[in-house]
C-alpha cells in the first residue's frame, strides 16, 4: 500500500506530522481520526529527485538500522516503539519503508512477514533469520547476530573496493595521458616527418597512424569502448556460469579465498541462527557470488537430503575446508569451526590482494615506461635518419 504524509493536530491542540500506510487518502484520514488525531493535510508521500539520481534506499544503512533495532529490543523497548524511533531518525525512502513495516506490524503481521514485502532490500536470509528469532523468542539476539554478519560483509566489500581504487585510477590516468599525447602532442612533432621523401621507420609509421586515428575518429573510439563495456555486460549475464568457472581457474586463487570465506561465514551464521541445514545451504549458495560454486553447493544439499555427510558432498571445495567441516560434524562444533574458517579465508584474501597489488604497481609502471619509450624511439629514429642524410 502507498505511504501518505500528514499534518494535523492532537486533542491537546499541539501540531502532529508523520507518515501512515493506507489504501487511499480517505482511508488514511479515517485511520488518523481513529487514532485520535485531527488531520489537516493528507497527501501521498513524494520526494524530490535530482534529475540524475534514482530514488533508491541506501543499502549501506541496513547494518546500522539492524543494530539499532537489536539494541532497542534488548533494552526492553517494544517492537512498535523501536520501529517508530528508528523511522524518526531516517529520511526519504528509508523513512517510508520503516513506516510501512511499522504499519504492517501494527495490523497484526509478524516482522518477518512485513520484511518480505520490501523486495530485495532485505535479503532472503535476513527474513529467514528474523523468522527464526521470532519463533525462538530471541528476536533481539537474532538481529544482533544479523548486524554482526552484515557489518563483517560490509567491511569485506569495502576492502575489495579500496583495493581496486589504485589500479583503476592508474589505468584511467594512463589512458588520459596517452590520449592527450596521441591527439595533441605527437601530431605536432611528427608533422615534419610527413613532408620528407625518405622512407620512415615502421614504428614511426605506426605512431603516426595511431595519432591520426585518435585525431579523426576519437568519437568512434569512445563508441567502441562503450559498446565493448555493454557487450561484456551482456555476455556476463548470458554466460554467467562459464565466466564464473573461468574465474575459479585464474592463477593466484584470490577470488577463491573470497568465495570460500563467504560460504563459511554465511553458512555458519545461518546455522547459528537456528535454520535447518538444507535451508542454510540453499541460502549460503546464493550468497557466494559465483554460479559455479552455487551449483556445487546445491548439488551437495541434494546429497545431504539423501543422508550423505556434508563434508563428503561438497565437490570442488578445498581439502582443508572439507576437513574442518568433517571435524565440526563429528564434534558438534560446526558453527564455531566455520567462523574460524571464514576468518582464515578472509585474512588470506586480504594478504593475496595486497600481494597482487605489490606486483601490479611496478608492472603498471613498466608498461607505461615501455609505451613512453616506444613513442620516444618512434620520434627519434627519423631524426637520426635525417641527420645521416644531411651528413
CB 147 within 8 Å of CB 63: yes
Distance CA 244, CA 246 (A): 5
For 198, list phi and psi in degrees, rounded to 5: -75, 150
- Is residue 274 within 8 Å of 138, Cβ to Cβ? no
Tens digit of each residue's pLDDT (9 = 90 or more) over 204-245: 888 888 888 888 887 888 888 889 888 888 877 788 888 888
Query: How far apart are the C-alpha atoms of 92 and 113, rounded to whole Å?
Result: 23
DSSP classification of residue 62: H
Q: Which parts of the chain sit beneath pLDDT 50? A: 47-54
Cα-Cα-Cα-Cα dihedral sign, residues 326, 327, 333, 339 = negative
Instruction: Judge if 59-150 and 166-391 fold alike in CATH terms.
Output: yes
Number of Cβ within 10 Å of residue 92's Cβ equals: 15
Residue 79: count other Cβ atoms within 10 Å of its Cβ. 20
What residues does each domain of the chain span? 3-44, 59-150, 166-391
- Grid cell of 337 as nine digits: 569451526
Per-residue model confidence as pLDDT tens digits over 10-61: 777 777 776 666 667 777 778 777 777 777 787 765 544 333 334 567 777 8
The CA distances from residue 296 to 12, 316, 344, 383, in Å, are 64, 8, 22, 63
Global pTM reads 0.68
Which numeric CATH code is attached to 166-391? 1.20.81.30
**Three-state SS for 199?**
coil
Cα dihedral sign, 304-308-314-320: positive
- Domain at 59-150, CATH homologous superfamily: Type II secretion system (T2SS), domain F (1.20.81.30)
Are the beta carbons of 190 and 208 closer than 8 angstroms?
Answer: yes
Amino acid at each position: 500500500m502507498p505511504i501518505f504524509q500528514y499534518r494535523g493536530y492532537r486533542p491537546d491542540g499541539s501540531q502532529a506530522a508523520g507518515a501512515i500506510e493506507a489504501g487511499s487518502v480517505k482511508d488514511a484520514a479515517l485511520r488518523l481520526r481513529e487514532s485520535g488525531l485531527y488531520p489537516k493535510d493528507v497527501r501521498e508521500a513524494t520526494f524530490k529527485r535530482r534529475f540524475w539520481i534514482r530514488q533508491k534506499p541506501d543499502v549501506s544503512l541496513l547494518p546500522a538500522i539492524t543494530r539499532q533495532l537489536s539494541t532497542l529490543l534488548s533494552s526492553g523497548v517494544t517492537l512498535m516503539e523501536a520501529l517508530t524511533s528508528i523511522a524518526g531518525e531516517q529520511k526519504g525512502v528509508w523513512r517510508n519503508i520503516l513506516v510501512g513495516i511499522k504499519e504492517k506490524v501494527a495490523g497484526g503481521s509478524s516482522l518477518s512477514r512485513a520484511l518480505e514485502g520490501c523486495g530485495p532490500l532485505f535479503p532472503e536470509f535476513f527474513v529467514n533469520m528474523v523468522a527464526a528469532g521470532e519463533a525462538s523468542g530471541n528476536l533481539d539476539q537474532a538481529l544482533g547476530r544479523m548486524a554482526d554478519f552484515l557489518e563483517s560483509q560490509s567491511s569485506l566489500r569495502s576492502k575489495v573496493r579500496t583495493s581496486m581504487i589504485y589500479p583503476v585510477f592508474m589505468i584511467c590516468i594512463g589512458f588520459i595521458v596517452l590520449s592527450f599525447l596521441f591527439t595533441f602532442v605527437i601530431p605536432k612533432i611528427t608533422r615534419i616527418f610527413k613532408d620528407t621523401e625518405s622512407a620512415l621507420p615502421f614504428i614511426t609509421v605506426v605512431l603516426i597512424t595511431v595519432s591520426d586515428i585518435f585525431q579523426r575518429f576519437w568519437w568512434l573510439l569512445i563508441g567502441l569502448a562503450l559498446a565493448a563495456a555493454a557487450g561484456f555486460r551482456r555476455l556476463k549475464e548470458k554466460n554467467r556460469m562459464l565466466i564464473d568457472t573461468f574465474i575459479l581457474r585464474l592463477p593466484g586463487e584470490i577470488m577463491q579465498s573470497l568465495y570460500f570465506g563467504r560460504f563459511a561465514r554465511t553458512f555458519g551464521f545461518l546455522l547459528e541462527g537456528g535454520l535447518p541445514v538444507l535451508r542454510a545451504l540453499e541460502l549460503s549458495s546464493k550468497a557466494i557470488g559465483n554460479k559455479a560454486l552455487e551449483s556445487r553447493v546445491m548439488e551437495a544439499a541434494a546429497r545431504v537430503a539423501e543422508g550423505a555427510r556434508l563434508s563428503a558432498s561438497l565437490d570442488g571445495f578445498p581439502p582443508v575446508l572439507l576437513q574442518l567441516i568433517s571435524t565440526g560434524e563429528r564434534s558438534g562444533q560446526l558453527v564455531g569451526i566455520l567462523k574460524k574458517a571464514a576468518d582464515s579465508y578472509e585474512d588470506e584474501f586480504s594478504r593475496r590482494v595486497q600481494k597482487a597489488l605489490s606486483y601490479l604497481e611496478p608492472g603498471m609502471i613498466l608498461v607505461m615506461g615501455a609505451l613512453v619509450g616506444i613513442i620516444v624511439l618512434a620520434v627519434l629514429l627519423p631524426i637520426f635518419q635525417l641527420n645521416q642524410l644531411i651528413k
